[in-house]
Structure 1
Amino acid sequence: MNMIYTSILLFLFSVWAFARQQKHILPMLITLEACMLSMLLLVFSISMISTCSGFMTIIILVFAACEAAYGLSILTSLLRLRGNDLILSMS
């Protein structure tokens, strides 16, 4: 039960950090990854308590990997195009 509270607290903290990061893209991607990892931890701890299989943890892990790859490709394209990762320079 302690792991569930920890993962919920980690998720809320990462959402708060995501709301504060509005200048650069790289910290936003890192906080999104923290959100995904906290959701993975939450689903894993719930599946350990109940009799459910860990299939949902694999799905969340795949989504997190795809999100990270997609975010890094956008960041790389933006850095090549603009030279920085400032959000204000996108408009």
Structure 2
Amino acid sequence: MMNFNLFTVFVSLCMIFCGLWSFISYNKHLLNSLLSLEFMMLGIFWLLSVSMSMVGSEIYIGLFFLTLAVCEGALGLSLLVLIVRSHGNDYFKSFNILEC
């Protein structure tokens, strides 16, 4: 049982760091950045679930975290749609900060 918990903690930490690496290195498109953020959220949720099951406490904090992750994803997708409608693409190089 202990080896399985250590394995799942290791896998979830690898998921978080792979998501962070892809967020830092593949930042050409906005959609790639949003997908890497969601992958990091999935890894954090898995780590939170495993740690809560080890302690034996309630899982309501995990449901609250999932609610916040879904809200973050919906906000990111709405910004993506807004940017694609206004600029025509989701390349970061085509954005101008001074442009409205």
Q: How far off its partner does 1:53 sit?
A: 1.0
Partner in structure 1 of residue 27 of structure 2: 22
Query: Secondary structure of the residue that 1:22 maps to in structure 2?
Result: coil
Identity %: 29
Structure 2 counterpart of 1:78, one-letter code: I
| TM-score normalised to structure 1 length | 0.96
- Describe the superposition over 1:23-71 as per-residue Cα deviations: whole angstroms up to 9, x where unpaired: 1100100000000000000000011111221122111101110011000
Structure 2 counterpart of 1:77, one-letter code: L
Matched, 1:82 2:87: yes
The structure 1 segments of at least 4 consecutive aligned residues displaced by more than 4 Å after TM superposition are none
Matched, 1:64 2:96: no
Query: Secondary structure of the residue that 2:56 maps to in structure 1?
Result: coil
Matched pairs, number: 91
Consecutive unaligned residues of structure 2, counting only runs of 5 or more, are 1-5
Q: How far off its partner does 1:2 sit?
A: 1.1
Query: Secondary structure of the residue that 2:89 maps to in structure 1?
Result: coil
